[in-house]
Amino acid sequence: MYLYGASGHCKVIIDIIKSSTNKTIEAVFDDAVKENTILGIKIVDFKKNDNYKIDELIISVGKNSTRKKMVEKLHANFVSVIHQTAIVSKFVTIDVGTVVMPGVIINASTKVGKHCIINSGAIIGHGCKLNDFVHISPSASLAGNVTIGEGSHIGIGAIVIQGISIGKWASIGAGTVIINDVPDGAVVVVNPGKIIKINTFL
C-alpha cells in the first residue's frame, strides 16, 4: 500500500499500519520531497510515480480541505486503518480513507464518513454521524447523537454535548464546550462555545 503526504500526520499513520496490520508500505508520495525517507519508508515525488501500481492508498495529510482536493484529483483504491488499541463497536460503519488512531473509542450506531481522522484518545458516543473529511482531534469527546458536517474540525479536548449538530467546514477551538448547534463555516471558541467568525469561502 501507499501513503500520500510526508508530514507528521504521516508518521502516525505509518505507526498504525506497522503495529496493527500485516500490510507493507511500499512508498510515501509527496509533492515537495525534502527527505529521502520517513520512518524508514522511501519518499517518492508523486509526479514521478509512473513505475508504481497504486493498489491501496491513504491520504496522510492532516488538513481537511487539502485531503478533499487530493481525493478529488486522484483515482485510487482508498483504504482505512484502525489502530489495534482503538475500541470500535461492531455496530459502527467506517467509510474508505479514514484513519482511527490509538486509544479511540467509537460507540454503537455511529457512522464515520470518508477520509476522516479520529485522533488519539477521542471518544465518539453512540448514534453519531461524522460526514466526509472531518477531523476529531486528540481527547475530544462527542456525546450521543452528534452530527458533524463535512470538513469540520473539532479541536483538541473539545466537548460536544448530546444531540448537537455542527455544520460543514466549521472549526471548534481547543477545549471548547459546544452546547448549541453550530452553523456552516463557524469558528467557535471558549466555554461555553462562542462564534467569533463565519468563514464565507464555502
How far apart (Å, rounded) are the C-alpha atoms in residues 134 and 145?
Answer: 16
Residues tagged active-site: 126
Give the β-pairing of 41-45 and 37-38: antiparallel
Measured torsion, CA atoms of residues 193, 143, 116, 200, in degrees rounded to the nearest 10: -30
Query: Grid coordinates 477531523 are at which residue?
Result: 135
How far apart (Å, rounded) are the C-alpha atoms in residues 130 and 111?
Answer: 6
End-to-end CA distance of the chain: 33
